Amino acid sequence: MNDRTTVSPSARTTIRRLPELANHDRAMLYSIVDEAYVCHIAFAANQDTHCIPTAHWRKDDYLYIHGSNGSRLIKALSAGAQASVAVTLLDGLVLAKSAFSHSMNYRSTVVYGQFEVVQDSAEKLAALDVFMDKIAAGRNHEARPGNSKEINATSVLRISLAEAAVKVSDSLPSDKDEDLDLAVWTGILPLKTTRGMPIHAESGEHIAVPDYVKNWAD
Amino acid sequence: MNDRTTVSPSARTTIRRLPELANHDRAMLYSIVDEAYVCHIAFAANQDTHCIPTAHWRKDDYLYIHGSNGSRLIKALSAGAQASVAVTLLDGLVLAKSAFSHSMNYRSTVVYGQFEVVQDSAEKLAALDVFMDKIAAGRNHEARPGNSKEINATSVLRISLAEAAVKVSDSLPSDKDEDLDLAVWTGILPLKTTRGMPIHAESGEHIAVPDYVKNWAD
């Protein structure tokens, strides 16, 4: 069972390949989910298995998504399809002395379970506020809020993070002893998601530029 | 049917949500697959649906992956599991006048089909060479090549890109007419994968620093 600070593996979240990379820290799980904007969801519908990317956010111990009521993803998950949700952050390419010892550094989680529909309107709006805060803190109070038609056409779903595998690779290359003397460069080629200069859709002094836009670019 | 320059939709790759974002250019499909280092694969095994991230590369009209013979992913896909492979590049957050008109810019593909095992040793090595060239052009000739034990313990699988949905969103925010006069900042907050300064695993003048390391960082 999970307590509030750790992630305990179930049969299907026990990491069997490179088990030394398994991470059982719930704070790490949360940081991965929070840092990524997009997750991938696997589910079965109409005899096919699908892998669909979608925006996500987290509130407490749940990963949330939203979408149009009519979308295949939302319909299948609302109907209780078994789901697997992957969130992956790639941190670098790891170059070793031998071809087969090359690897990647990453932080990733795979969550198993079923989504539940957030039915209550107030809860739904509160959840969407958390999403907006992830995109741009404070924008809740600037953009026009959803009207009842928009809110009713949109579903908000959530899945518990109770059953999650977390795997983190953050290391220098690991080579076999017999390869260590080879005169081959080894190291890490880092990769990172960075924030570029905002693109203004409109010009005009009547529109204040919010701090989260001014401060966006790395 | 697909010709060599376009992507024609099947029943399950016809884009129904925001169909105006469907892209039928095979060059776009290839560029998405080539730019991303990691794909997500959905498949069913042991009554569960899984979503697993893994490194991929492309050769001609196939997406390739590799892995240890014993891994659940490789075993299930080698046995012919129906698979769906998503490759997603997130380009930015799109901030609109109203909360519900916010969106994201991205380039993505979802491929359907079954993987096939690359059985022939020479073909397997040739495919792995293409992977290494994607990671670091020319490193094939520097790192120690795989020996027969390493090669035999590793599976290389490929899936045809014939049945692929490609969806590209690359636009400024789109607001409803009645929202256009709101004094709310709109625009794009760009996101980009960038390359950081290489981390050298060893010091020492006896090891030449290859050009792909010298030229890595943005």
DSSP B112-171: EEE-EE---HHHHHHHHHHHHHHHSTTGGGTSBPP-HHHHHHEEEEEEESSSEEEEEE--
Let me know: does B87 contact B41? Beta carbons within 8 Å: no
What are the residues facing B160 on neighbouring strands? B62
* Residue found under tokens 């008109």: B101
CB neighbours of A181 closer than 8 A, spacing ≥ 6?
Answer: none
| CB pair distance less than 8 Å for A185 and B85 | no
* pLDDT-based confidence at residue B3 (cuts at 50, 70, 90): low
pLDDT tens string B127-171: 999 999 999 998 999 999 999 999 999 999 999 999 999 999 999
SS3 content of chain B, % helix, strand, coil (to 5): 25, 40, 35
List B residues 177-206 in contact with A (Cβ-Cβ < 8 A).
179, 182-202, 206
* Residue found under tokens 């179930």: A10
What are the C-alpha distances in Å from B20 to residues A176, B168, B170, B190?
52, 9, 12, 22
Q: Residues of B with CB below 8 A from A97's CB?
A: 143-144
Alpha carbon of A17: minimum distance to chain B alpha carbons (Å): 7
| CB pair distance less than 8 Å for B85 and A140 | no
What would the mean pLDDT of A29-42 be, rounded to a whole number? 98
- What chain B residue is nearest to A151 in terms of C-alpha separation? B100
The candidate with the shortest Cα–Cα distance to B78, out of B126, B115, B44, is B115
Q: Where are the beta strands (DSSP E) in A11-79?
A: 38-45, 48-55, 57-59, 62-68
Q: What is the token pair recorded at B198?
A: 């290489």
Q: Is the pLDDT of residue A56 over 80?
A: yes
Q: What is the token pair recorded at B125?
A: 């090595």
Buried b (16+ CB within 10 A) or exposed e, B37-52: bbbbbbbbeeeebbbb
| CB pair distance less than 8 Å for A102 and B135 | yes
- Domains of chain A from N-terminus onward: 11-196+203-214 (2.30.110.10)
Alpha carbon of A65: minimum distance to chain B alpha carbons (Å): 13
In the chain, the amino acid numbered B15 is: I
Q: Residues of B with CB below 8 A from A32's CB?
A: none
pLDDT tens string B92-127: 999 999 999 999 999 999 999 999 999 999 999 999
φ/ψ (deg, to 5) at A2: -90, 135
Q: Exposed (0-12), middle (13-18) or buried (19+): which is B179, by Cβ within 10 Å?
A: middle
- What chain B residue is nearest to A134 in terms of C-alpha separation? B93
DSSP A46: T
* pLDDT-based confidence at residue A46 (cuts at 50, 70, 90): confident
* Residue found under tokens 């169909």: B19
* pLDDT-based confidence at residue A3 (cuts at 50, 70, 90): low
Give, for A34, the enclosing helix (H) or strand (E): helix A26-35
What are the residues facing B63 on neighbouring strands? B58, B159
pLDDT number for residue A2: 47
